[in-house]
Structure 1
Amino acid sequence: MKSPVPLLLLVLSGVALAQGTSPLSLLYDQVLVQSVTRDGKTAEKRTPAFTKVRPGDVLAQTVTARNVGRVALPNLRVQLPVPANMVYLAPDGPAPEGVRTEYSIDGGKTFAPAPLKKTVTVTENGKAVTREVEVKPNEYQAVRWTIGTLEAGTEKTLGFRVQVK
């Protein structure tokens, strides 16, 4: 079920958003994703109007950015947090052309393209050693997409999958 994105779930920058006059329309969608077997083949079933989720369920969260104005919107940033009771799994399909995807492990304060790195201190042979390690996707806390240019009358759908804790 598509609905306007609550402002708390989505952060935008790079475009002026005046109430009721924005050239940008945003639609948030969340569907339950399940694997089903049909005629001996595994297929994906997407249920938009689900009412309950259980630990382990996979959801696809997407936002469609639509330029309803008359001019192109440059350098548009769209950000979605990974909900606190969920774990990031992967993108929900390939990123659209002209879109850069970045991830955050600090609640959306900083972003970088994957693979993210972090510094950790471990003890080896009784000594503290600092190492740079790759961040696992399940540690991502937010995703930000930068759309180079969103032409008038066009849209881009951006999204990722999460698993219920």
Structure 2
Amino acid sequence: MREVRTLRNRKPLTAFLAFLLALGLALAQTLLLDLKAQKVVVKEGKEVLEEALAVAPGDTLEWRLVAENRGKETLRQVALVIPIPKETFYLDGTAAPLRLGNATIRPEFSFDGGRTFGLPPLKKRVRVVENGKEVEKEVEVDPKEYTHARWVLPELRPGQKAEVRLRTMVK
């Protein structure tokens, strides 16, 4: 008797978990994201991109994130985020605005691990010593301190693709 009751009690839970799994798979199949890093190399005076099998300090990497809406519905407020690895720093001015239809989407940046984003120049509050006194000042964040870049697309129609990119340098 006890086993039958346990099985009956698990059926709703199993059905709910199956529903959540199916929902997650459906959402994952709707938006395809592909992030790649390639090494920027100068050959015969021209920049070319190569697979980044090995990198060294001073190497430049180009990060490309391609998003494709494979669903049947328009997606709204799609945030495309490229994290900037700790072993690299962002090269200022390399994250270009994205043209999507009639919209121009400017990249926003974060310097706090992706918790907050804003348009440059970003500001932060720091404590410094001036004339022997500790004071708090607002200073501009150096783009080398950026941890993430983000483009928020108002919409991505079915079958539509969007590509964003930026460059970093290996520390």
Opposite residue 33 of structure 1, the aligned amino acid is V
Residue 29 of structure 1 contacts residue 62 of structure 1 at CA under 8 Å; is this kept in 2? yes
1:92 to partner: Cα distance: 4.1
Residue 100 of structure 1 contacts residue 147 of structure 1 at CA under 8 Å; is this kept in 2? no
2:134 pairs with 98, 117, 128, which one?
128
Opposite residue 45 of structure 1, the aligned amino acid is V
Gaps of 5+ in 2: 1-22
Opposite residue 125 of structure 1, the aligned amino acid is N
2:158 pairs with 142, 147, 152, which one?
152
Q: Which has the larger radius of gyration?
A: 2
Gaps of 5+ in 1: 1-16
Aligned to 1:51: 53
Opposite residue 52 of structure 2, the aligned amino acid is F
Matched-pair identity in %: 35
**Are 1:112 and 2:118 counterparts?**
yes
Whole-angstrom CA distance in 2 between matches of 1:141 and 1:94? 16
TM norm structure 1: 0.78
Residue 95 of structure 2 contacts residue 167 of structure 2 at CA under 8 Å; is this kept in 1? no
Alignment of 1:60-139 (within 5 A): 60-90=62-92, 92=94, 94-97=96-99, 98=103, 99-139=105-145
Opposite residue 47 of structure 2, the aligned amino acid is E
Alignment deviations for residues 118-141 of structure 1 (CA, whole Å, 9 cap, x no partner): 112222222223221110110001
**Are 1:142 and 2:148 counterparts?**
yes
Alignment deviations for residues 29-74 of structure 1 (CA, whole Å, 9 cap, x no partner): 11101234x3xxx421211x23211111010111101112222211
Residue 75 of structure 1 contacts residue 147 of structure 1 at CA under 8 Å; is this kept in 2? yes
More helix by share: 2
More strand by share: 1
Number of aligned residues: 144
1:91 to partner: Cα distance: 5.3
Opposite residue 79 of structure 2, the aligned amino acid is R
Whole-angstrom CA distance in 2 between matches of 1:35 and 1:146? 32
Change (3 A) 1:75 1:69: same
> CA-atom RMSD, angstroms?
1.9
